[in-house]
Structure 1
Amino acid sequence: MAGTGVRRVRVRVEGLVQGVGFRPFVCGLAGTYGVSGFVGNDPGGVFIEAEGEPGRLEAFTAGLTGQAPPLALVERVSVEAAEPVGEPGFRIVPSRRGERPNPALVPPDAGTCAACLRELRDPGDRRHRYAFANCTGCGPRFTIVTGVPYDRCATTMADFAMCAACAREYGDPGDRRFHAQPVCCPACGPELRALDAAGRPVPGDPVEVAAGWLKEGRVVAIKGLGGYHLAVLAADGTAVAVLRARKRRESRPFAVLAQDVAAAGTLVHLDPAAERLLTGTPRPIVLAPRRRDAPVADAVAPGARDLGVMLPYTPLHHLLADRLATPYVLTSGNLTDEPIAHRDEDALRRLAGVADGFLVHDRRIEAPADDSLVRVFRGRELVVRRSRGYAPAPLSVPWRFPRPVLACGAQLKNTFCVARGDQAFLSQHIGDLESYETLRLFTESVERFCRLFGVRPEVVAHDLHPEYLSTAYARDRTGVDLVAVQHHHAHIASCLAEHGHGGPVIGVAFDGLGLGDDGTLWGGELLVADLLSYRRAGHLEAVPMPGGAAAVRQPWRMAAAWLDRLHGDALPDLAVAARHREQWPVVAGMARSGLNAPLTSSAGRLFDAVAAIAGVRDVIGYEGQAAAELEARVDPGERGAYPARVIAGELLVIAAGDLVGAAAEDVAAGAGAGRIAARFHHGLAAAVVRAVTILGEETGLRTVALSGGVFQNTVLLEAVVSGLEREHFQVLTHSRVPPGDGGIALGQAVIAAAHDRR
C-alpha cells in the first residue's frame, strides 16, 4: 500500500529522447529525488510512471526538461495523475512496440566524447585502442538505425551480441553505458581489417597498416561513420595530385583532418566561434582562413582563401590521427558527381581504381551521411552542407502541417524534407541528382525517412522546373496532392521557417539558376513574400547565357555576353577576349541573336562574368568555383565600390552591367584582381541595399530575408547585412539551414503547408 501523501503520475516525454541516454538519466533523476517507478521507450518517445511525495514528484518532472542530457531535445512533457501502487525502486522496463502517429525522433550521430577518448588512450583500459568505443553521450545513431523505438535490435549493432562485461555496463544504472545501444568492446563488437586494392586481407594491426600506406604516399579508403572516405597525407603534394586524378576532382577543395585543436590552429586562423564549432558534438568541417605557412600542399585547396578543417569524430579517426601525428586529407569516398559509398561490396567495386588499400570494418552503415560543412558569420554558425551530426534532428516551426508533407528539393545539392505536426525533418545531404546512383540514394532515403518518422505523404511539393529529377519523382507519385513551388520563393520561405517568421518580408534571393514563373532563368531576385505567396518586385539586370549550360561551365561566355552588350564591336583591349579570340565572335553573336542563349538574371552568372574579366577563372571544375575564387581574392584593405544604378519601373532593376563595365575599366587600367573583387562585392551590396530601401518605402516592410547560395559568400553577406542595418531594417539570415539549394526543401514544405491551411 502507498503511504499517506504519496502520489503517482504517468508522464510522456516527446522529442529527441531516444539514443541520447534519456532513460538512464531518468533513473538517476529518480534516485536524486527519491522517486520510485519505471521508464521505457515506445514508438512515440519515453513513457514514465513515478510516485513519491508531491514536492519530490514536482521536482522530478521539472528536471526532465531542465536537466536533460546534452544530446536530448525535449519537445513536450505531458503529466497525468495515476493511482499509487507502492512499488519499490526505479527501473528501466522493456520497450513497448506498436504504431504511433508521431514516432520518436532519431538522434544524429555524435562525435567521440572525452570519457571514451580517455579510455581509448589508456593502456590499462579494456577498450584501449578500440575503434568502436562509445557511450550514451557519443557514437553512431542515425547512420545505424533501422527502426523505432531506438533499441539495439533496431540498429545494425543487432549483428553483435554483447559480451558479459558489456552487458554488465549496459545494465548498471551507475555506468555511463547504461542502456547505450551501440555498446561493445574488442571481445564482442565490430572489428577492423586492412585490405589491399584487390580486397584481399593484409596482416598486421589495421590502423598501423593504413598509417604506413599513407606515409608511403598511397591513397587509402577508410570506412567511417556515414560512409567511405579517401585519405592521403595533406602535406604530400604528389599524393594529393594522384587522388585528384583518380577521383576525377580537378579543383574542388579537399577537407583536412587535424589531430586536435592545436594542430588545427597550425592550418587555419581559429576564432572562438570556429573553435567551438570544431569541438562541438556534430564535429563538422569548418571553413576558416588558411594560414600562409600551413603544412598543407597547395593542391589541397587551390585558389581558395579558406581551408576546410575537422577534428576526429570517431575512435578510428582518433587512432589514425595519433599514429600519423600530421594532418591528412579526408574526402568523400566516391567519384565526382556520385554519392558517398557506404556498402562494402559497392565501395570495393567503385573505389577499386582509386584506393591503393582499404581500412574497413564489419558494422553495417544503414544510412549514408557525408560530413557537414559550416562557416562562421558574426560569431555564429552558418551551415553550408547539413548532413552528418545534424540530420535528422527536427526543425520545429510555429505552424502546423495539416497533412503530412514530402518536399522533394532541388536538382543540385539536393536534400528532401518530410514534415508532420509542427516538425520538419530535413534529410542528410544527397547531392546532385545527375546520376543513377544519386537518384537511387534519394529514393531509398525518402522511403527510410517516411518509415522512421511515420510520414505517409498526402501533399508532395516540388520545384517548378519540369526537368529536375526531383520534380519527376514527385509527379510519379500517385494519390497525393502536388504543389509546385517557385525556386526563389522556396529559398525565402526556408529562411522564414528557420526564424519562425510568417512574413511578409522583402526577400533577396541570389543564386545560380532557378526557373521563374515567366519561363526565364531567375537568380538575382527581389521578392515581396510570405509563406503563401510572393510578388517579383525587382531583379538583377538580365543578360543572355550564350550556349545555355555551357555558360555555367565556362564563365568567360558570361563575360562575352556582358561586354558585347556594353561595347559591341568596340570592345576594349581585355585579356579575357584575347584568351578566347577564336570563339569570342561566335559566342558574342549567339548572345546578340538569342539563339541558344536564354535570358537570366542570375547573381551567380554575374559573379562568373566578373571573375573571368578579372582573370580569376575562365572555366570551372565545380559549380560556383568562379564566384568562390572571386570572393577569395577580395582585398580586405580596399574600400572602394563600383557604382550601380537601381532603375525604377514596373520592376526595379539593379543595373548589373554598370558593375561589369566598371570592372572592365579597372582591368584596362591595370588594376589587380584583389581590388576588382573588393569593389565589385561592395558595389553589388550597395545596390542591393538601395533597391531594398526603395521597396521598403513602397511597401512599408522593414524586415528582409536573405537566401540563396550566393549568400554563403560571407564578404557579400556582411556588406549587405551591415548596409541594411544602417537603414534600420531587421535582417533574417540563415544559420541552421543552408542558404543554398540544400535548404530549399524546407521552404517547399512550409509553402505547401501554407496552401494546405488555406
Structure 2
Amino acid sequence: MPGFSKIEKPFLLPMCRLSTMQALRVRVAGIVQGVGFRPHVYRLAVRHGLKGYVLNLGGSEVEIWVEGDPKQIEDFLYDLKNKTPRSAEIEEIHIQAEAPKGYKDFIILKSGTTITKLSMIPPDFGICEECLREVLDPSSRWYRYPFHSCAWCGPRFTVIEKIPYDRENTSMRDFPLCEECQKEYRDPNNLRRFHIQGISCPKCGPKVFLVDPTGKQLEAEDPIREAARLINEGYIVAVKGIGGFHLACLATEDSVLEKLRRHKKRPTKPFALMALSLEVAEKIAEVDDSARELLTSPARPIVILPRKPGAVSELVAPNLKTVGVMLPYTALHYLLLMDTRDKFLVMTSGNESGEPIIKDNDEALRKLGKVADYFLMHNRRIVNRADDSVVRFTDGEPVMIRRSRGYAPRWIILPRSIKSPAIATGAFLMNTGSVAVEKYVIPTQHIGDLENLETLEFLREALSFLIKTYGIKECDAIVVTDKHPAYPSRLVAEEIASKCSNNLVEVQHHVAHVSAVMLETASTEEYGIAIDGVGYGDDGQIWGGEVLYVGQGYERLGHLDYLPMPGGDMATVYPARILIGTLTRALGEEEALKIFQSNGLQRYLPGGLSEARLAARQTSGSPMSSSAGRFLDAVSTALGVSWKRNYEGEPAITLEEYSYGGNIISDSLLDAEGDTVKTYDFLLKLLQGELRHSPRDLAYTVQFLLGKRLAEIAREKGAKKILVSGGAAVNTPIVKGIRAIFGKENTILPKKLPPGDNSISAGQIYYAYLQGYI
C-alpha cells in the first residue's frame, strides 16, 4: 500500500489512549471509492463486533465511524491498514477520537458531498479471473455477458461523471439494477457485489449490437460471435471498448493490413495486438516474467516485446523487431478474441489520423465509416475517453511510453502541501495536462499531439474534468506552460489565465523533463540528462540533448553540438536535410552536394537532388538543434536504416532496434570538447567515409557513446547520480552508456510517469513548486 509500511500489532494510535476511547472517526484517502472499499469496511466492522457507519464523502475519500470495545477497535484498525481489497490503495488514514453515539448496528450510509480530504479517482481495472470464469461458465447468469465486473475489476475513470463514485454519478445510472442484482448489491456476504456501483447482468445492463457503416443494425443472435466471424473473413470491425473505439482485424493477412494502413493514413506506425491469453501472447512475442507481470496486471497495458519471426504479418510493425501486445481487459474483448481463428488481433486506436480516440457511437460512424466495414457497439456512454497505456523495457527496466487507461488519473504526492492550486498545459507532442491541489499532482490521461482543434479540445475537456472534480477555482490557480511561444497548449494556458488576469509561469521544456523525474523522487535539486526530439531553448534554438542542474532555478551544463535544420520542420520529416545542411555548413554548397550524391542520399528526399540543393541554400538561415532525436534521425538516414519520420521518433526507434547485436568499435568514435558532445564532427566523418565499420556496430557505438559523453559532462560538473528523461531516455544503448559512468543504481529512470512529453505537464508543476510559485 503506497504511503504505509506494514503495521505489526500492537498498533498504537497517536494522541489517543485506547483504554478510555470507545469511538473513532476515521477518514481514509487513496483509491478507496469504486473498489469495494465500503463493503470491505462493513465486513471488517461486523467481524470485530463494532457499530457505526461508513460512507463516501464528496472528495472521493471515505469516512468511517466505529464504536465499541477498545481492543476490537484496535484489531479493526490493524485489519483496515493491512487487508485492503484487491484494487484499493490506502495512502493516508486520519483518526480522531469521538464520544460514542450509541449506534445499534454498522451500516453503509448514502454518500455525502462534504469534501474534507481528497482521494484518487480509481483508474479502470482489467477483468478479474473470477468475473471471466463466470462469463465462460454456461451455468452462470453472466454467461457470455460482455460487461461483467465486480469490486475488483471493470471501468471506473472512463464512466465517472463526478465524485463521489456512486452509480448515479456514472454512466451506469442509465441501467437500473434488476431484482437479482439488487439482492446481491444489498447482501453483505456477497464479497464482490455488495454495494458495488458498476455491477449489472444481461437483464439490466448495457447491450451490444452490430451495425454497418450506415448505422443499420444487423440481425445477429450473438453480435460478438458475428463480429468475430466477419473479422475471420478479412473485414475490419470498429469495436467500442471502455475508453474508446478500437479498429480490430486479422494480424496475419497482408491485404487486410494494407487496407487498414491505407484508410487510416498510417504507413508505418506499428499497430498494437491483443492476444487472448498469455499462452497466445507467447506464440507471437518473447514474454519473460517481468512482461507477464505487466500483461496480467489490473492496468493491462500494451507491452512492447521482441516478436517471434513469422508469427504476424510484417505490416503489423514495419521495419521493427518488436511488437506491442496486450491481453483482453474486458469480457467483450475476450469473447471476441475467443471466436477468432488466430486468437489474436490487431487492436489499434479508433480515430482519424492525429485526432483523439473516438468514444461516441455517432462520431464513430461519421469518422470511421470509410475505414471499418462493421461496428461492434454498445449503449453504455464513455464519459472520459482513454487510450491504452504503453510500456516498454529499457535496459531491463519497465518504462512507460504512454500513461492512460489503467494508470490515469492516479496522482503523485508532493513533499509538502502547496499554498495555491496549479494548472499546467504540457507540451505539443504526446500531450497531457496536469493539476495540483493540496499536496497532489494529478496528470490527465494521454491527450495526443496537438495538431488539430479536436485534440486541443480534448485537452480542455480533460483538464476541465480534473479542475471540477478536485474543486479547483481557476482564479486561485497558478497557470504553467511551456516556453515555446507557438505551442497550442499555450493557448489553453492563456485562456485560463486571462479569465482572472493571472500571470503565466513559463517552464523550459527540458527543465520540465528533469523536474518530472524529480517529482517522482521528491528531490529539491538534481543533475539531469534530458534527451528528446524538440524543445524551445533559452537561446531561441531547438534543444534536446541537455545536461541540466535543476533546483532553485536551473543551469545548462552541457549539450550536444548544434546541427542545422534546413527547412525547419521539413528536416524533422526528412533527416537527409540535416545531412546536407551539416555538409554545407562545413564544406560549402557544391562540395556538400558532391558528397551527398556520392553517398546516394538524394534518394531519401522526395525531390531528389533538386531538393538537396534547395536545402543546402536554406542552411545559412536555418534553425539549429542540439536534439538527440534529430541527431539519431540523421545517423539512421546516413546508415540507410530509416529516412522518413512517418510517426514521432521513427528513424531513431528503428536505429535502436537495428543496432541490437552490434559491438562497441572505439571509445573515441564520438568525442566531447568542453561542455559539448561533437555530434557535428561525427556526421562529417561518417559522410566523408572516414568511419569504415559495420553499420550495425556504428549504430550501436554512437548511441552508447552519446549517453556516455553526456554522463561524463554531468560527472565533471559534480553529479554523483543522474536523472534521465526525454523521449530518447527509453533508448537502451543510450541508457547503457549513461550507466557506464554512473552505474545502474545512480541512473534514475522515471517509474510513475513516461520520460517523454507525456510527463511535461507534471514537470511544469513541480518546477513551479520548486520555485515557490505554488
- Tell me, yes or no, whether TM beats 0.5: yes
Task: Write out aligned runs for 1:81-96 (5 A).
Answer: 81-96=97-112
Of residues 179, 194, 207, the one that matches 1:191 is 207
Which piece of structure 1 moves more, 687-696 or 389-398?
Answer: 687-696
Aligned to 2:527: 506
Aligned to 2:539: 518
Give the aligned length.
Answer: 738
Rounded Cα–Cα distance in structure 2 between residues aligned with 1:170 and 1:402: 42
Aligned to 2:634: 609
Q: CA deviation at 1:589?
A: 2.7
- 8 Å CA contact retained: 1:101, 1:454: no
Of residues 616, 622, 625, the one that matches 1:588 is 616
- 8 Å CA contact retained: 1:380, 1:735: no
Rounded Cα–Cα distance in structure 2 between residues aligned with 1:97 and 1:475: 32
Task: Write out aligned runs for 1:265-284 (5 A).
Answer: 265-284=282-301
Of residues 764, 767, 773, the one that matches 1:748 is 764
Say which SS state the counterpart of residue 756 (structure 1) adopts. coil
Aligned to 1:66: 82
Of residues 483, 498, 504, the one that matches 1:464 is 483
State whether structure 2 residue 563 is matched by structure 1 residue 543: yes
Q: CA deviation at 1:329?
A: 0.3
Rounded Cα–Cα distance in structure 2 between residues aligned with 1:147 and 1:583: 54
Rounded Cα–Cα distance in structure 2 between residues aligned with 1:756 and 1:455: 19
Rounded Cα–Cα distance in structure 2 between residues aligned with 1:439 and 1:685: 34
Say which SS state the counterpart of residue 411 (structure 1) adopts. coil
Letter in 2 for 1:442: L
Aligned to 2:519: 497
Of residues 699, 720, 729, the one that matches 1:677 is 699
Give deviations 1:389-416, integer Å, cap 9, x for gaps: 0000111121332211001100111000
Of residues 254, 273, 290, the one that matches 2:271 is 254
- 8 Å CA contact retained: 2:394, 2:731: no
- 8 Å CA contact retained: 2:141, 2:201: yes
Rounded Cα–Cα distance in structure 1 between residues aligned with 2:175 and 2:689: 66
Aligned to 1:633: 658
Aligned to 1:111: 126
Q: CA deviation at 1:456?
A: 2.2
- 8 Å CA contact retained: 1:256, 1:308: yes
- 8 Å CA contact retained: 2:557, 2:714: no
Give deviations 1:48-105, integer Å, cap 9, x for gaps: 111222121012122222211232221211112222344333221111124x265432
Aligned to 1:488: 510
Rounded Cα–Cα distance in structure 2 between residues aligned with 1:535 and 1:259: 50
Rounded Cα–Cα distance in structure 1 between residues aligned with 2:640 and 2:587: 19
- 8 Å CA contact retained: 2:449, 2:455: yes
Rounded Cα–Cα distance in structure 2 between residues aligned with 1:213 and 1:712: 38
Letter in 2 for 1:495: V
Rounded Cα–Cα distance in structure 2 between residues aligned with 1:174 and 1:567: 81
Task: Write out aligned runs for 1:89-488 (5 A).
Answer: 89-98=105-114, 100=115, 102-175=117-190, 176-204=192-220, 205-294=222-311, 296-326=312-342, 327-457=344-474, 458-477=477-496, 478-479=499-500, 480-488=502-510
Of residues 666, 670, 677, the one that matches 1:654 is 677
Of residues 713, 720, 726, the one that matches 1:702 is 720
Residue 303 to residue 54, structure 1, CA distance change in 2 (3 Å): same
Say which SS state the counterpart of residue 529 (structure 2) adopts. strand
Which piece of structure 1 moves more, 572-581 or 202-211?
Answer: 572-581
TM-score scaled to structure 1, two decimals?
0.94
Say which SS state the counterpart of residue 158 (structure 1) adopts. helix
Structure 2: unaligned runs, 5 residues or longer = 1-18
Say which SS state the counterpart of residue 266 (structure 1) adopts. helix
Residue 516 to residue 482, structure 1, CA distance change in 2 (3 Å): same
Structure 1: unaligned runs, 5 residues or longer = none
Rounded Cα–Cα distance in structure 2 between residues aligned with 1:637 and 1:507: 27
Rounded Cα–Cα distance in structure 2 between residues aligned with 1:297 and 1:578: 27
Say which SS state the counterpart of residue 187 (structure 1) adopts. coil
Give deviations 1:704-734, integer Å, cap 9, x for gaps: 11111011222322332243228xx822211
Letter in 2 for 1:165: E
Give deviations 1:256-299, integer Å, cap 9, x for gaps: 000100110111111111110000000000001111132x1100
Rounded Cα–Cα distance in structure 2 between residues aligned with 1:490 and 1:126: 51
State whether structure 2 residue 730 is matched by structure 1 residue 712: yes
Aligned to 1:13: 28
Aligned to 1:552: 572
State whether structure 2 residue 601 is matched by structure 1 residue 576: yes
Of residues 548, 558, 569, the one that matches 1:527 is 548
Letter in 1 for 2:638: I
Q: CA deviation at 1:491?
A: 0.5
TM-score scaled to structure 2, two decimals?
0.93
Q: CA deviation at 1:617?
A: 1.7
- 8 Å CA contact retained: 1:384, 1:739: yes
Q: CA deviation at 1:748?
A: 0.4
Question: What is the identity percentage for the equivalent residue pairs of Structure 1 and Structure 2?
Answer: 38
- 8 Å CA contact retained: 1:403, 1:756: no
- 8 Å CA contact retained: 1:462, 1:748: yes
Q: CA deviation at 1:196?
A: 0.9
Rounded Cα–Cα distance in structure 2 between residues aligned with 1:481 and 1:463: 13
Residue 101 to residue 377, structure 1, CA distance change in 2 (3 Å): same
Aligned to 1:54: 70
- 8 Å CA contact retained: 2:390, 2:402: yes
Rounded Cα–Cα distance in structure 2 between residues aligned with 1:7 and 1:476: 53
Say which SS state the counterpart of residue 115 (structure 1) adopts. helix
Which piece of structure 1 moves more, 266-275 or 579-588?
Answer: 579-588
Letter in 2 for 1:603: A
Give deviations 1:645-695, integer Å, cap 9, x for gaps: 2212xxx111112332444366974x5542221122122123223222222
Aligned to 1:643: 669
Which piece of structure 1 moves more, 315-324 or 581-590?
Answer: 581-590
Rounded Cα–Cα distance in structure 1 between residues aligned with 2:236 and 2:202: 27
- 8 Å CA contact retained: 2:721, 2:742: no
- 8 Å CA contact retained: 2:738, 2:747: no
Rounded Cα–Cα distance in structure 2 between residues aligned with 1:621 and 1:13: 48
Give deviations 1:25-64, integer Å, cap 9, x for gaps: 1112123322222111111311111122212101212222
Residue 50 to residue 578, structure 1, CA distance change in 2 (3 Å): closer
Q: CA deviation at 1:142?
A: 0.2
Say which SS state the counterpart of residue 143 (structure 1) adopts. coil
Of residues 621, 627, 630, the one that matches 2:646 is 621
Residue 378 to residue 712, structure 1, CA distance change in 2 (3 Å): closer
Letter in 1 for 2:664: R
